Amino acid sequence: MRSSSIKKCRVVSVDSRPIQIYDTTLRDGSQSEDVLFSVEDKLRVSRQLVEFGIDFIEGGWPGANPKDGDFFHHAAKLEWGNSRLVAFGATRRAGVAAEQDDGLKGLLQAGTPVVTIFGKSWPLHVQQALGITLAENLQLIFDSIRYLKTRVDQVFFDAEHFFDGYKADALYARQVLQTAMDAGADCLVLCDTNGGTLVHDVEHAVHDVVTLGGPLGVHCHNDAGLAVANSLAAVRCGAIQVQGTINGFGERCGNADLVAIMPNLALKMGYSLAVTPQMTRLTNLSRLVNEMANRASQKNQPFVGLSAFAHKGGIHVSAVTRSAATYEHIEPETVGNHRRVLVSEQSGRSNLVYKLREFGFDSLDPNDPRIRDLLQEIKDLEHRGYQFEGAEASFELRARRLLGQLPDYFSLKGFRVIDERIWIDHKPLLQSDASVRVAVGDMIEHTAADGNGPVNALDSALRKALIRFYPTLADVRLVDFKVRILSIGGTDAVVRVLIESEDRDSHWGTVGVSANIIEASYEALVDSVRYKLLKDHVVVPGH
């Protein structure tokens, strides 16, 4: 078998080998599709990375674009603490002396204490992309590193396409690293630039080149879904530096995700990391970088995702309440996350008891027959299309109503929505008007409002009717609205509407289901209003 010929890497003792974390979110990560950091975004992310304790923060490629030049200008004014700012670039150009090369001059003008340059380690790229001989490529690498090393504190060398180059010509790949080391490089970074290397090939290559004696780093892309695994494997075989991005941002399929790498190294593998004391802030760091990139956080992202420690199956929840280790690989708080128990048609009694205790029903007897009734109600509702995993506010309202803990804030008497399309000066104009009738105690309110579509008009009319009784409703803002078709059919299909609302200090989700999209929307809107009043402990007028 082929695997029998592969050398297994000698695992280096973790006791005396601290691992450096090198972040390239601001440079390699910004090459991700749909990610566009402004200079202010990059400065804000930098501050967060410094506070987190990242060893090396790569800010960009000076001279590649005006934004990176502007960033390095402003970055010089920041406090970098124990972190070191890095400028990134390439070796000198063929036929140009290092002292005359504009790219190297730009790196020095950035004024950073550390510079990383990349060079070719794959003969295919040397001969076809650069169009020079293999010997000339070695000279480019040597001259560039030697020149920079006399002018900055540290120089790292990224051996581009190293693992592909090693497969094609292991001897030349080793020569590239030896040349960089002879020139004074402080770290030899092995790059899986195409992202297609398998774990055993990474182990084999690192096991070989670690014998050169120079400090090794690893820089992996995720095109085969193995960037994190390859990075961890390289560390086990001797690498002392791991390069990656927050949330795995990067070109094509992304880079190695430091959000997964750092806790694995520190919490699972026992390595010493400067960031370990800040690991409880990992979830916040991940979400802030997503926010700066204008990307939604992934619910299933390991360690930090909203679903990373979420439990839905009744058997799971029953076990977790006895010992979290039964279905959780670490304590969620160690990475700043938290445990969530979901309520659904798969729920058991344990799920409901756990959730109700979150709502303050600590003394509720698990054998209370109302628990059974609530469980049956939830299963019946989900069979009809309701979903409470993203609408926990609607679930809490139903639970409190069944347990006699929901005040009678108002009751609905009816609503009407009129959508019309009219022409003004031969141009179509869409117009939505809504009216609602609600009772608050003995008083009936009948109000109307227009809006940008029927749901907005309904929302405005409902709050207009209630706001004189409950002024805090002015703080509520609808931030998301989703419609899902549940049944196969035509325009008479059943739909589920999920609404996310927020005020100044929290957000919540509610749900409505109907064959009529307006009715489903109205149900979710009413739940949103009721939940706002419940969480604010509002007193019903006259009580």
How far apart, in whole angstroms, are the C-alpha atoms of residue 134 and residue 390? 58
pLDDT(346) > 60 = no
Strand partners, 231: none
How far apart, in whole angstroms, are the C-alpha atoms of residue 165 and residue 22? 23
How far apart, in whole angstroms, are the C-alpha atoms of residue 50 and residue 85? 10
Average pLDDT over residues 494-520: 92
pLDDT in the model for residue 97:
97
CA angle 17, 20, 23 (to 5 degrees): 165
pLDDT(322) > 80 = no
Average pLDDT over residues 147-168: 98
pLDDT in the model for residue 461:
96
pLDDT(28) > 60 = yes
How far apart, in whole angstroms, are the C-alpha atoms of residue 204 and residue 427? 69
How far apart, in whole angstroms, are the C-alpha atoms of residue 108 and residue 481? 50
pLDDT band (50, 70, 90) for residue 16 = low
How far apart, in whole angstroms, are the C-alpha atoms of residue 364 and residue 354? 10
pLDDT in the model for residue 110:
97
pLDDT band (50, 70, 90) for residue 345 = low
How far apart, in whole angstroms, are the C-alpha atoms of residue 336 and residue 451? 41
How far apart, in whole angstroms, are the C-alpha atoms of residue 30 and residue 302? 21
pLDDT in the model for residue 3:
41
Amino acid at 99: E
How far apart, in whole angstroms, are the C-alpha atoms of residue 141 and residue 100? 15
Average pLDDT over residues 410-424: 89
Q: How high is the mean pLDDT of the chain?
A: 91
How far apart, in whole angstroms, are the C-alpha atoms of residue 258 and residue 481? 32
Domain boundaries, the chain: 14-292, 310-383, 411-535
Q: What is the 8-class DSSP label of residue 64?
A: T
Task: Give me the helix-helix angle, 369-383 and 349-358, nearest 10°.
Answer: 100
The beta strand positions in 185-311, using DSSP E, are 187-192, 216-220, 241-244, 310-311
pTM of the model: 0.74
Out of 199-203, 327-331, 491-495, 521-525, pick the least confident: 491-495
Average pLDDT over residues 15-24: 86
Average pLDDT over residues 120-124: 97
Most confident listed range (211-225, 346-360, 382-396, 469-483): 211-225
First CA to last CA distance, the chain = 80
Q: Identify the CATH assignment for 14-292 out of 3.20.20.70, 2.60.40.1930, 3.40.50.280, 3.90.1150.10.
A: 3.20.20.70
Q: Give 253-290 pLDDT, tens digit per residue.
A: 999 999 999 999 999 999 999 999 999 999 999 988 98
Half-sphere exposure of 117 toward its Cβ, with a 13 Å CA cutoff? Answer: 32
Out of 56-70, 135-149, 331-345, pick the least confident: 331-345
pLDDT in the model for residue 205:
98
Are residues 473 and 487 in contact, defined by beta-carbon separation less than 8 angstroms?
Answer: no
Residue 73: its H or E element: helix 66-75
pLDDT in the model for residue 224:
98
- Cβ neighbour number for residue 142 with a 10 Å cutoff: 19
Are residues 253 and 223 in contact, defined by beta-carbon separation less than 8 angstroms?
Answer: yes
Q: Identify the CATH assignment for 411-535 out of 3.30.160.270, 3.30.300.30, 3.40.1350.10, 3.10.50.40.
A: 3.30.160.270
Amino acid at 58: E
How far apart, in whole angstroms, are the C-alpha atoms of residue 511 and residue 523? 7
As to burial, measured by CB atoms within 10 angstroms (0-12 exposed, 13-18 middle, 19+ buried), residue 194 is middle
Give me 527's structure tokens. Answer: 């739940």
